[in-house]
Amino acid sequence: DTGVSQNPRHKITKRGQNVTFRCDPISEHNRLYWYRQTLGQGPEFLTYFQNEAQLEKSRLLSDRFSAERPKGSFSTLEIQRTEQGDSAMYLCASSLGPTGQGAGELFFGEGSRLTVL
Amino acid sequence: KQEVTQIPAALSVPEGENLVLNCSFTDSAIYNLQWFRQDPGKGLTSLLLIQSSQREQTSGRLNASLDKSSGRSTLYIAASQPGDSATYLCAAPLLFGGTSYGKLTFGQGTILTVHP
C-alpha cells in the first residue's frame, strides 16, 4: 500500500508526558499537512509543509506542539507536556502541488488517536 | 474566514434510495472542493475532487456538483447501500494568489445510515 502512513495508530499517555507521531506521505507528494479532529467535529488545520519548509501554522498549535519534516519526506508531530484537552485524532495528509490533473487533492492517513489520562 | 456548513447533520434512509447531501461555504474564492468519507475511528477517504473551473464530477454511484456563485456543492448518491453508511465531509481550500496551500476548511459532516 503506497498511501499515507501514520504511527502509532493509538497512543495512551498520562498528563504531562511527551508524545510523538510520525507521518509518511505518498512518496511523490511534496506537500504535507497535519489536522486535528475531535469527536463529532470536522478536522481542523494545524500546520502545512512544502518539502521541508513549514509554511503555515494554525493558532491552534500552541508552543507545546512542534512539527518537523527534516528531509522533505516523513514528518513528526510532537506534543510536549500533554494535557487532557489534547486528546483527539491527529490526521496527516499529503498532496501534489497546485497544477496538473488532480491538483490540490488531499490524501489522508488513518490517523493517530491520542488519549491523555 | 471560510465557513463550511453541511446539511443535514444526520440522515437515515432505507437501502436503494437516492439521496443528496448538501455543503455550503461562505467564501466563493475557492481553489477546489473535495468530498470525503470517514468511517468510525478511521481516517478520511477522498471521494471526489471538483476543480473550481468544473461544475461536476462523477465516480460510480456518486455525483458531486459545484456552484461557486451560490457557495454550494451537493453530493448525490444513487441506489444507496448499507456499505455507504459513514460520515461524509466536504472541504474547500481558499485561493491565495491564484493557487492554494491546500489548507482545508471542513464542515461538521453528514452522518449517513443506510439500513437494509
Which residues of chain B lie closer than 8 angstroms to A40, CB-CB? 108
Tell if the CB–CB gap between A108 and B106 is shorter than 8 Å. no
Q: A18, A24, A19: which is closest to A110 by C-alpha? A: A24
User: Do residues A104 and B56 touch, judged by C-beta distance below 8 A?
Assistant: no
pLDDT < 50: residue spans in chain A: none
Helices and strands, counts by H and E, chain B: 0, 11
Instruction: Pick the closest to residue B8 from B92, B111, B80, B77 (CA basis).
Output: B111
What's the rounded Cα separation, in Å, for the pair A47 and B68? Answer: 26
CA distance B59 to chain A (A): 14
- Chain B residues within 8 A of A35 when measuring between CB atoms: 104
Nearest to B111 by CA among B31, B40, B5: B40
CA angle A67, A111, A90 (to 5 degrees): 45
Write down the pLDDT at residue B97: 55
User: Tens digit of pLDDT per residue, chain B (116 long)?
Assistant: 788 999 999 999 999 999 999 999 988 888 889 999 999 989 999 999 998 888 999 999 999 999 989 999 999 999 999 999 999 999 988 766 555 566 788 989 999 999 99
| Contact residues, chain B, for A33 at CB < 8 Å | 102-104
Looking at residue B44, what is its pLDDT? 94
pLDDT at site B51: 85
CA distance A12 to A115: 5
pLDDT tens per residue across span A32-53: 999 999 998 999 999 989 899 9
User: Strand B86-93 to strand B104-106: parallel, antiparallel, or no bridges (unpaired)?
Assistant: antiparallel
pLDDT for the residue B28: 81
Q: Which amino acid does the sequence have at B95?
A: L
CA B115 to chain centre: 21
**CB atoms closer than 10 angstroms to residue B53:** 8
B109 touches chain A (CB under 8 A): yes
- CB–CB contact A33 B108 (8 Å): no
Per-residue confidence (pLDDT) for residue A101, from 0 to 100: 54
In the structure grid, which three cell numbers stand for residue A88, read together? 483527539
Q: Are A45 and B105 in contact (CB < 8 Å)?
A: yes
B23 close contact with A: CB closer than 8 A: no
Residues of chain A by 3-state class (helix, strand, coil), percent to 5: 5, 50, 50
Q: Residue A80 is placed in which grid cell?
A: 510536549
The one-letter code for the residue type at A104 is: G
What residues of chain B, 86 to 105, have a C-beta less than 8 Å from chain A?
A: 89, 91, 93, 99-105
Smallest Cβ distance to A48: which of B32, B34, B101?
Answer: B101
Q: Which residues of B touch A7 (CB under 8 A)?
A: none
Q: Coil, helix or strand for A7?
A: strand
Residue from the list A95, A102, A110 with its beta carbon closest to the beta carbon of B42 = A110
Q: Name the minimum distance, in Å, from the CA of B83 to any CA of chain A.
A: 19
Contact B91, B4 (CB under 8 A): yes
**B102, A33: Cβ pair inside 8 Å?**
yes
Q: A42 and B45: CB-CB below 8 Å?
A: no
E strand residue ranges, chain A? 5-7, 10-13, 19-24, 31-37, 44-50, 53-57, 65-68, 75-79, 88-95, 107-108, 112-116
